[in-house]
Structure 1
Amino acid sequence: MKPLLGSMTRRERRFAVAGVIITLTLLLPLVAAAEPGLIPGSGPTPGTASATEQPADVERGDSCHDTLPADTPSYVVCRWLNPPQDAAAAAQFWLAEDGANLERAQPLPPEFIRCNQKSDLAKTGTCKGGETLCQQQPTGWYRCTDQVTRKVTYEGYVNGAWVVRSTPPSTAPSPTAPSPTATSTAATPSTAPPRSPAQTIDATAVLPAPASLATSSAPASTPAGTEPSTTGQNEPPPDGNPATAAPTLTSTTAPPDTPTAEPPPTATPSSSKPAPAQDSTAAQAIAAAAASRLRLRIWVESDLADDYLAGDRPYTTALQDLVAAAQQPGVTGVKFADNLGYTGFTTAADVTRFLTRAGQDLRAALPGKHLAIGVVVPELGCGAAKTCIRAMRAKAPLATKEHITRYLTLRAVDRVEISTGLFGRTYAQYQVPDAKTGKPTAITPALAARAQWMSVRALEWDTLAQVRGREYGLAHAGGTSPWDNKQATAQIDARIGTALALGVPTITLWGHKAVDGTQTYRLLDAGLAPNALWTTLTSQRLRGRLAVIVDPASTERSITADLTELAKAVSEVFILL
């Protein structure tokens, strides 16, 4: 590179740099327009429902400083240094005054020529006033010779100021960049190359406010996420629609945390779970999922925590059933705990002992199989709302981010699925400042998801286990989804798009005919009828990023028919035992 640059004239170097900058200025916006987001075809449209709920757009330069708690490490950067919309301004800065700012920028080459009169190149393209040749010395200073008068000076930066000396210095100059207010001790405008510090752009002043922080709410017909009644009874939905009421939760299925549900405050016995040895339904589901034409990765799932708390005998029985299912051909791994620490346990030490024992038992019985757990960390969705954080820590004292970090540090599992799409009613009671106006705005589902996944990145859990998401906010109660295409797209953007944009590799969807008491939750409509949500998911080529939870005891038509339809949108399945 040095020989190439050295062989070029000063004017040629300027034209080359200008060409690169102009090319980047034209191409970056085109690239951004060609690939607007991580969900093809689902970009937000002004005036539609998706404009109020959209994923964090790194190409737009979204900032996240207003959604992260105060204890987030300072090295977490969540906006582009120079997003595409600022590329034109950056190019204009470097090209101004015939590239004067390029000439002033650090670092200097080992040898350079400058015009004795700054305006020469800008007006005529030649140095009519003569040239000065500067060559870098071993000390770091430049020996500059005026080619007209043959006067020799020694020049370099000292504490940010360009210094000109008439005698050779004995020490190297300061390597610091020039200061805007620094003055030269001996330089004159005609001899010292005028340098300016590197351009600093205040992104908060030029970047658009993230749409997820806009002061608005989800569509009126869109369930916003609620929390369970502490009495175990159904809680009325925020819109008063009985069809979206929160369910009474049991452990016969995965916790039905939908747009209107949250993890249960109390755990129920798991004796109602069918054991594979007694019921071949799970075995049939695993065999059906293993069909090569479906191209599905298979996990088996059972929550051993309840059985562990019930005693050694129930735990041993449940463990044997889980091992037997996982030993079937095609099974990738087992998920043996869900929302760990949220209920049931009384101390963090109890959680640690369970996790250690279960992990050791499963690794011994299933060598080579992947192990996973699920966690829910309510405080992560609060962002910077301190009152919300305190309330969520009180709600789940054993599922705080500090405790989850300790659990993962045990290295008992290979994968952790972090639940999201929960606690909508609670989050909506708290506010964070709007990124653009600074006015308080309620925490929306998109903002909660965004805050959660940015916090997970800051916590570095991905260095302890493979981090995945488990979304409970897309299932609907009843036989028919209430969402139209715009609302479904908005929810996918907010819940799935946000997580994928922030680096979550895969998202597991809950709610394929998940029965709880008298209520049934679905992703498709009854009888596997497609709806706006499912049509959008299958059309957006996200199959490799999505998984789904299936209870083989609760199907729409048959386990084979259900898996065939689900495989159109997902590449991984968790089969409940």
Structure 2
Amino acid sequence: MRLRKIFVLGVALSLLGIAAPASAQDDPRSCNDELPAGTPSYVSCRWLATPEEALAIANFWLQNDGENLEAAVPIPPILIDCAEDGNECTPAAPGPGDGDGELHDVGEPDVEGAEDGGTPECAAGEECYVDPHGLTAAQVSEAEKTAAGQTVKTAVAAGMRVWVDTELSDDWKAGKLPEAARKIAAVAAQEGVVGVRFTRQIGVGQTFQNADEMDKFVTEATTELRKLLPGRKLAAHTVVPVFGCGAEEACKTAVSAKYPLLDPDRIGAWLAKGLIDQLALDSGHLAGTYATWKIDAATAQRNQWTQVKARAWDAYAHLAAEDAGFTAAGSPQLTAEQATKAITERVATPLQNDAAETVTLWSRWQNAQGQVSRMYGEKWAANATWDQLKKLNEVRPRLATVYDPAHPEVDAATDLKALSEVFGQVYVHTS
């Protein structure tokens, strides 16, 4: 049993070895030989505790039946003795929500003019609703009655984790951000909603004239939403094409010039500042963008997630991969073997590499001409792709999809029940 404890503790300590690059090849703390074949040269490994040191640490704590571990105690807190000469202790004034600082009997109003143990009575005596964040009872009630509001309730009832999905950049450009944010917040205020994804493919189109304007939108949109929805998470979707280049300098130069707004340092700053809680990176460009430099989709994907991990973006926010490639006009015609291969490459790989924490797969979308693309059969007819996806039960909480209540396959109840068999999360789109 002790050997097992030593082994487990030693392994745990050894796994902490990913650190700064070694300064020399003969560095005894270098663990580059532990990296898998094909790892880019700019990724290095260094032991914080070598296996020998980890064993010594484990032995120290476990020797003599864990004598040192049992004797260890928390560091005592720093206390101030108010009775000691020279120390002056002033009672803190009551803060918001602390009441009036007086002791009250059970059932007695907390403040003058209150009833039922602290519920304020309106001036005219009527039942009133007070929300300090700018949403009225009427706004929330009306939002619950909309198609998006009812879809949220249906998705929650189906056991799915729910986000509200929208695009606020056009409203921001038109000077209508506060009104649009309140409308979305009223939908997202419902019980069971995790948060709001407020923009999609940011930096890709022609919405913003320059990067500073894009930064201003992200700052103002997140500030407005956090004021309206305290405690809810905020998400954004984009793409960082330069990541797929890996170490290919010619590729990085060309791609950066083509997509000047998609600078990884700028996007990383949004995460480091806490503006965004979840960032989804699109995978749609990985198949053909890098053909000039003979970088295939699998290599581009590996390059992308290696860059994400090297920048420690996951230390600041939740990272997601997003993929619309499983859909096809009408429905996909993949065989079971082809579907399994695609799932392995585009769903399992990002998760197994500990790169993306979730994968968002588009299950249905409709273009401007009305043509529908699906990952399942029409009216939920069975097909090989959907059948293979239904086998991913163990990772269902990590799989998400996008649902537009304005364009149902059958109806919200039928659709979300079927989607919940594959996906643990859903982004309910609302305009």
For 2:37, the equivalent position in structure 1 comes to 63
Report the RMSD for the aligned CA atoms in angstroms.
Answer: 3.3
Residues 463 and 328 (structure 1), Cα distance of their counterparts in 2 relative to 1, 3 Å cut? same
State how far apart, in whole Å, the 2-side matches of 1:383 and 1:525 are.
37
Q: Which residue of 1 aligns with 2:429?
A: 576
User: Which structure 2 residues correspond to residues 157-168 of structure 1 after superposition, within 5 A?
Assistant: none
Secondary structure of the structure 2 residue equivalent to 1:312: coil
Where do residues 232-381 of structure 1 align in structure 2 (5 Å cutoff)?
A: 280-291=146-157, 294-309=158-173, 311-313=174-176, 315-343=177-205, 344-381=207-244
**Shift of residue 421, structure 1, vs aligned partner:** 2.9
Residues 62-96 of structure 1, C-alpha deviation per residue, up to 9 Å, x if partnerless? Answer: 43424xxx7x453499xxx9xxxxxxxxxxxxxxx
* Percent of aligned pairs with the same amino acid: 32
The CA distance in 2 between the partners of 1:357 and 1:106, in whole Å, is 49
Flag structure 1 segments of 5+ consecutive residues without an equivalent.
Answer: 6-19, 21-59, 82-104, 110-275, 432-442
Q: Report the AA paired with residue 559 of structure 1.
A: A
The alpha-carbon distance between structure 1 residues 278 and 563, as it changes in their structure 2 partners (threshold 3 A), is: closer
Counterpart AA for 1:351? M
Question: Which blocks of at least 5 consecutive residues in structure 2 are unaligned?
Answer: 8-33, 57-141
1:551 pairs with 2:404: yes
Q: Distance in 1 between matches of 2:53 and 2:400?
A: 50
Q: From the superposition, tell whether residues 418 and 499 of structure 1 become closer, same or farther in structure 2 (CA, over 3 Å).
A: same
| Structure 1 position 336, deviation (Å) | 0.5
| Residue 285 (structure 1) shift | 1.0
State yes or no: 1:483 paired with 2:319: no
Aligned length: 313
Aligned counterpart for 1:509 among listed residues 358, 361, 371: 361
Partner residue of 1:464 out of 279, 293, 316: 316
Q: Report the CA distance shift for 1:418/1:505 in structure 2 as closer, same or farther (over 3 A).
A: same
Provide, for residues 96-150 of structure 1, a one-character-per-residue CA deviation record: whole Å limited to 9, x for no partner: xxxxxxxxx999x9xxxxxxxxxxxxxxxxxxxxxxxxxxxxxxxxxxxxxxxxx
Give the TM-score normalised by structure 2: 0.66
Aligned twin of 1:186? none
Amino acid at match of 1:448: A
Scaled by the length of structure 1, the TM-score of the pair is 0.50
Alignment of 1:140-151 (within 5 A): none
Instruction: Describe the shift of the 1:426–1:377 C-alpha distance in structure 2 as closer, same or farther (beyond 3 A).
Output: same
Q: Which residue of 2 aligns with 1:251?
A: none
1:450 CA drift (Å): 1.6
Distance 1:348 1:546 in 2: 31
Structure-to-structure mapping, 1:68-87, within 5 angstroms: 72-75=42-45
Counterpart-to-counterpart distance in 1, 2:53 and 2:305: 37
Cα shift at 1:375: 1.9
Residue 519 of structure 1, CA deviation: 3.0
Cross-structure match for 1:494: 345
Residue 377 of structure 2: aligned partner: 525
- The residue identity in structure 1 corresponding to 2:162 is I
**What is the CA–CA distance in structure 2 between the aligned matches of 1:465 and 1:347, rounded to whole Å?**
25
The answer as to whether partners of 1:422 and 1:472 remain within 8 angstroms in 2 is: no
**Greater helix proportion:** 2
Query: Which of structures 1 and 2 has the larger relative contact order (alpha carbons within 8 angstroms, sep 6+)?
Result: 1
Q: For residues 469 and 420 of structure 1, what CA distance do their matches in structure 2 show?
A: 7
| Residues 485, 562 of structure 1: alpha-carbon distance in 2 compared, 3 angstrom cutoff | same
Secondary structure, counterpart of 1:548 in structure 2: strand
Say whether the 8 Å CA contact 1:470–1:508 is kept in structure 2: yes
In structure 2, what residue type is equivalent to 1:501? Q
Given the superposition, is the C-alpha separation of residues 498 and 523 from structure 1 closer, same or farther in structure 2, using an over 3 Å criterion? same
CA distance in 2, matches of 1:279, 1:390: 50
